[in-house]
Each structure stands twice: as C-alpha cells, then as structure tokens.
A and B are shown apart, each in its own frame.
Chain A
C-alpha cells in the first residue's frame, strides 16, 4: 500500500548541531508539506513544495530548509538546532493543488538540548 513515512521517529540533539528529518511518500503526490506541532499552536506550516525543485516558505520557516530532488522525498534540515525547535514535526502530502486533502506521516519528536 502507498504510504508516507518519517524518520527518525525520535531524535535528541544538541544546540547548534545540524539535523535532517526525512519524509518519504509512495503515492507519487506532487505536493509535500512540513509542519511543527506545539501546545497551544496546533500545526504550523514550515515549508512546502509543489514539485521537484520547487520549495516555498511557510509561516514559521526561519532556521529550517528543504530540498526536493525527486517526487518521493522532502527532507527538512535544521541548520543550527535551537531549543525553540524542540517540537513534533509532521510531513504531509497531497495529490495536486486542485485536491487539497493532505495525508500525514506518523511524526518525528525532536528534542534539542
């Protein structure tokens, strides 16, 4: 069955380190999204992509970057991790802009010490 996966599921890192979170989908969806989930804020959009080599900033993009070299993957990089980036990160994908239903991965819990 087609699916969306994230790795690692849990990560502990230190302030200042570079961290990359992986997201992989097998639906061949054009659109992919990264969110962070924090208490009291719901889900906030970090970056998104509408296709290969396309990337866009979301609401809370500072300190994060993404790249889209193929349809299946959208890795999220924290260039220099900060304690404020401790959060749960979710990746999602959708088929096209005309059908916005997004399907979510299981999430990555990141703790920055």
Chain B
C-alpha cells in the first residue's frame, strides 16, 4: 500500500540550513505537501509542489522533488528558533486523500 517515510528528528543550530527528507511510494501523486505543526496546534500548510516540477522556492523554503527516486526534501535556509516544530510530508492518493509521514521534529538550538 501507499507509504510515506521520514526521519523522526533533526537538530540544527540557528542560522544553519535544515534539510528534511521524505520518501513516498505512490508514483501517481499529483501534489506533494509539507505541513508544519507547532506545539499544541493544528497542521499549517507550508508549501506544496506539483508532480511535474523538480523544484519550488518560496522565500526561505526550497522544495526538491526527485520523481525517479520518489524523494522529496524541504530545505529551510537561515533556520530560526521559530522554525522549531514538527514537519509532515504528505502525498496525494486517489480521491484527494492524503497519506502522511510520521513527522520530523526539528529542533533549532541558539
């Protein structure tokens, strides 16, 4: 069945770049998403990439998509303490449903 895998933890220093990786299984996914969850809050849509794109940049965020390897990454430039959160990768499957990864907890140390 469909599956999305992420590493569980990432720790970086303030000002460094963070790279969160994700692998997915459904090659027919039309959109792939990154959501951010701050403590005690819901999921906030961070960015998404359409499956016919290789890269999308949005201010400090860069999304890279390698369809051949079914690999998605999120790079956060100049990481700040306010970026500390859990980041979820998600792929779309038939019927507009989303399959989520387990989430990567990003810890930013001053």
Q: Which residues of A contact B (CB under 8 A)?
A: 31, 33, 35, 40-45, 48, 50, 58, 90, 92, 94, 96-98, 100-107
Give complex CA distance A40, B4 in Å. Answer: 13
Residues of A contacting B101 in the complex (Cβ-Cβ under 8 angstroms): 42
Q: Which of A40, A98, A103 contacts B102 (CB 8 A)?
A: A40
Is B33 interfacial (CB 8 A cutoff)?
Answer: yes
Q: Is the interface of B mostly helix, strand, loop or mixed?
A: strand
Is B43 interfacial (CB 8 A cutoff)?
Answer: yes
Residues of B contacting A43 in the complex (Cβ-Cβ under 8 angstroms): 43, 88, 100
Q: Which of B33, B41, B88, B95 contacts A42 (CB 8 A)?
A: B88
Residues of A contacting B100 in the complex (Cβ-Cβ under 8 angstroms): 35, 42-44
Q: In the complex, are the beta carbons of A42 and B42 less than 8 A apart?
A: no
Q: Which residues of B contact A (CB under 8 A)?
A: 4, 30-31, 33, 35, 41-45, 48, 88, 92, 95-98, 100-103
With CB as the reference atom, state the residue of chain B lying closest to A58.
B97
Q: In the complex, are the beta carbons of B44 and A104 less than 8 A apart?
A: yes
Q: In the complex, are the beta carbons of B103 and A42 less than 8 A apart?
A: yes
Q: In the complex, are the beta carbons of A90 and B31 less than 8 A apart?
A: no
Give complex CA distance A58, B92 in Å. Answer: 14
Q: How far is the CB of B55 from chain A (nearest CB, A)?
A: 19
Q: In the complex, are the beta carbons of B42 and A107 less than 8 A apart?
A: yes
Residues of B contacting A98 in the complex (Cβ-Cβ under 8 angstroms): 96
Q: How far is the CB of B6 from chain A (nearest CB, A)?
A: 8
Q: In the complex, are the beta carbons of B102 and A90 less than 8 A apart?
A: no
A45-B97, A48-B97 given; A101·B102 CB < 8 A: no
Give complex CA distance A101, B45 in Å. Answer: 8
Q: How far is the CB of B94 from chain A (nearest CB, A)?
A: 9
Contact sample, A vs B, 16 pairs, CB 8 Å cutoff: A42-B88, A43-B43, A43-B88, A43-B100, A44-B100, A48-B97, A90-B43, A92-B43, A97-B96, A100-B96, A100-B97, A101-B48, A102-B98, A103-B45, A104-B43, A107-B42
With CB as the reference atom, state the residue of chain B lying closest to A38.
B102
10 other contacts beyond A42-B102, A45-B98, A101-B48, with CB at 8 A cut-off?
A: A42-B4, A42-B101, A44-B100, A90-B42, A100-B98, A101-B45, A102-B98, A104-B43, A105-B42, A107-B41
